Amino acid sequence: MTGHVLVVGASLSGLRLAEQLRGLGHTGPVTIAGAETRMPYNRPPLSKDVLTGDDDEATLVQSLSFRPRPTLDDVTWKLGATAVACDLAARRVSFADSSTLSYDALAIATGLSPRRVPLSGGEKDRYVLRTLDDALALRARLIAGARLAVIGAGFIGCEVAASARKRGLAVTMIETFEAPMQRAIGIVAGQAMQALHRSEGIDFRLQSKITGFVDRGDGHLDGIRLETGEMIACDLAVEAVGSTANTAWLVGNGLDLSDGVLCDNAMRVEGRADVVAAGDIARFPNLFADHVPRRIEHWTVPGFTAKRAAESLVKEMVQSSFAPLPAFWSDQHGLRLQSYGSPSLGDASELLEGSLCPDDMRRQGVALGYRRAGRMIGVVLIGLPAARLAHYRNLVDVGRET
Residue-level pLDDT at 167: 98
What is the model's pLDDT at position 320? 74
250 neighbors 284 (Cβ within 8 angstroms): no
> Rounded to whole angstroms, what are the CA distances from 214 to 98, 160, 205, 231, 233?
40, 22, 17, 8, 9
| Domain 5-113+244-314 matches domain 116-241 at the CATH topology level | yes
With beta carbons less than 8 A apart as the criterion, state whether 371 and 358 touch. no
280 pLDDT band (50/70/90 cuts)? very high
Instruction: For the chain, give every domain's residue range.
Output: 5-113+244-314, 116-241, 334-397
CATH code of the domain occupying 334-397: 3.30.390.30
Mean pLDDT of 171-198: 97
Contact 269, 276 (CB under 8 A): yes
Contact criterion met (CB below 8 Å) for 220 and 122: yes
pLDDT score for 400: 54
Distances in Å between the alpha carbon of 84 and those of 35, 92, 95, 247?
10, 11, 5, 9
Q: Please determine, for residue 83, whether its predicted confidence score (pLDDT) is greater than 50.
A: yes
Residue 398 has a pLDDT of: 58
Q: With contact defined as beta carbons under 8 Å apart, do 333 and 200 qualify? A: yes
Q: Lowest-confidence range among 11-15, 124-128, 336-340, 395-399? A: 395-399
Q: What homologous superfamily does CATH list for 116-241? A: FAD/NAD(P)-binding domain (3.50.50.60)
360-398: pLDDT as tens digits: 999 999 999 999 999 999 999 999 999 999 999 999 965
Architecture per CATH, domain 5-113+244-314, reads as 3-Layer(bba) Sandwich (3.50)
pLDDT score of 299: 81
Tally the residues of the chain: 402
